[in-house]
Amino acid sequence: MKFLDLAKVYLRSGSGGNGCISFRREKYIEYGGPDGGDGGDGGDVWAEAVDGLNTLIDFRYQQHFFAQNGQGGMGRQRTGRDGEDIVLRVPVGTEILDEDGETVLADITELGQRVLLARGGNGGWGNLHFKTSTNQAPRRANPGQPGVERTIWLRLKLIADVGLVGLPNAGKSTFLAATSNARPKVADYPFTTLHPNLGVVGVDGAEFVVADIPGLIEGAHEGRGLGDLFLGHVERCAALLHLVDGTSGTLLEDYETIVHELEEYGSGLAEKPRVTVLNKIDALDDEERAFLCEELAARSGGEVMLMSGASGEGTTEVLRALRAHVEAARPSAADDEDDGAWHP
């Protein structure tokens, strides 16, 4: 299935049915009076998070969603049938944006969560509603309210605990393949990863989800390379794993490039907890490892870990460091329990 994380959708809720003008006409009943029924309400348009979806590819083939109109009222005080609702089935983690592509209307982060996108029009009143002591034969009925038309954007942000960031060929996909059952494409050329991949990793009996996104290059925030739109998939992460290629001749510049792109993207990515790792140490001797680790630690101002995704050296220690950040960000069981007391 092809990965798609952005889709434009056109919506229209159902219009309400018109009220009915009708009079009771039966033999031997001299004063029948009005008996026009009300129109039915138009259908609503909803978005619902469902299980089993991890892409918006369905919205590439269908972009228009129209709810059913309400039925008009009828004589003998009969109300028209309400229009049927229509539901957009979206994956968990979908953001719903207004037509401008910036205003967030809703953020669907839980399975089964439903959001009303467009409310259907109310049905009009029949002439029975307008009967009074001075107007016992009203020839008036209300039309149904029109439905709502709007254009929205659906943007998927994957639900993951840890996000992998780094330059192309920094070893992100190799790390994901070595530590999880995910099988991303691995090759010795840049931009092997063209869409995000998810993998479940485990260490010391605990599991968490890691997201691998396409590599960033200098100027990605300006659209160079594959751009920085894929960074949206790591906005929800508790921590970032920054992989730096130890075999690169511009190691410090590579590190600064990624940090700069995170800052330019915004959304708090630069402030997230970050584990910096010197990768591909299987190609370095002990002296080179120590020298490059010291250089990178001085530039980053924090601890630098050593790892080789290809050989597996140091991966367990990196996973343990990530697990600590993930568990610190997750709510504790005590916070989830309700003690039944009211809290202001």
| Residues contributing to the annotated binding site for Mg(2+) | 173, 193
Question: Rounded CA gap, 65 and 120, in Å?
Answer: 13
Do strands 149-156 and 94-97 pair parallel, antiparallel, or not at all (unpaired)? antiparallel
Which residues are within 8 A (CB) of 208 and not within 5 positions of it... i.e. 6 or more apart?
A: 161, 162, 200, 201, 322, 323, 326
Q: Which residues are annotated as a binding site for GTP?
A: 166-173, 191-195, 212-215, 279-282, 308-310
Q: Which residues are annotated as a binding site?
A: 166-173, 191-195, 212-215, 279-282, 308-310
**55, 5 contact by CB (below 8 A):** yes
Read out DSSP for 223-278?
A: T-TT-SGGGGGGTT-SEEEEEEETT-TTHHHHHHHHHHHHHHH-TTGGGS-EEEEE
Which residues are within 8 A (CB) of 67 and not within 5 positions of it... i.e. 6 or more apart?
A: 12, 13, 14, 42, 43, 44, 45, 83, 84, 85, 86, 118, 120, 147
**110, 19 contact by CB (below 8 A):** no
Token couple for 202: 């485990």
Which residues are within 8 A (CB) of 337 and not within 5 positions of it... i.e. 6 or more apart?
A: none
**DSSP structure class, residue 299:** H
